[in-house]
Structure 1
């Protein structure tokens, strides 16, 4: 049996493709690869993100068994300094963000929301495998 090797694409519901593309490009430095009236394809964080037009207000979040709204995706940055810089940058751009938190595990996190209310997490720790494969080979930049 073959193993799943990576997540290639994440699909996100958005109400307005053009506005969502502008938000992701200007706030998260995503790269636009394709856009039409129904979808857009972005490169972001070493992955493809498809922004898919929806008719009704909906997002990718879910509610856990305790009634808490949860995110479906955690981004990683390389260390606390980078987390703090990103938090400050998003705050200055007017993005809805939460406070930097210590959740009792390695590193710190904060959450943010896109225009459509899709909730994301950011963690200050890169996975060891990512560091080994990409940072040690000089493919990914530590300061990006």
Structure 2
């Protein structure tokens, strides 16, 4: 089965206000908005298209693990701890809801941030080896 699924092309994110969310992703995260109507927006960020889809109030992409902790379903990567610290400080200055930089017992460090609808995302200080190899 190796090699059949080549990459993630699209991630769907539930939002309550498409225009507000598209603006937030563009302004706060530097995403490019390539399409928007009243039901969805397509924003391009980190090599992936995110479909921001109008959803019912209170919907989000998070889930609760078996220990009762609310979790994210997506991790972004940055190139090293200095980049992680700089992004953490930038997000803090922008007023984005962020968690502390964490040591989770594996290589690198992480922090979590949330969009206006409470969709949580992780940021990791390590680039995946496949990405490092493909960018050389």
Q: Do both share a fold (TM > 0.5)?
A: yes
1:19 aligns to what?
20
1:114 aligns to what?
115
Query: Matches of 1:107 and 1:77 in 2, distance apart?
Result: 10
**Unmatched segments (≥5 aa) in structure 2:** none
1:98 to partner: Cα distance:
0.3
2:43 aligns to what?
42
1:132 to partner: Cα distance:
1.1
1:122 to partner: Cα distance:
0.2
1:52 aligns to what?
53
1:56 to partner: Cα distance:
2.1
1:132 aligns to what?
133
Length-normalised TM-score, structure 1: 0.91
2:78 aligns to what?
77
**Unmatched segments (≥5 aa) in structure 1:** 137-144
Aligned residues: 135
1:139 aligns to what?
none
Query: Matches of 2:43 and 2:4 in 1, distance apart?
Result: 26
1:100 aligns to what?
101
1:86-125 deviation digits (Å, cap 9, x = unpaired): 0000000000000101111000000000000001000000
Q: Which of structure 1's runs of 4+ aligned residues deviate more than 6 A?
A: none
SS in 2 for 1:84: helix
Length-normalised TM-score, structure 2: 0.97
Query: Matches of 1:93 and 1:84 in 2, distance apart?
Result: 14
Query: Matches of 1:119 and 1:69 in 2, distance apart?
Result: 9
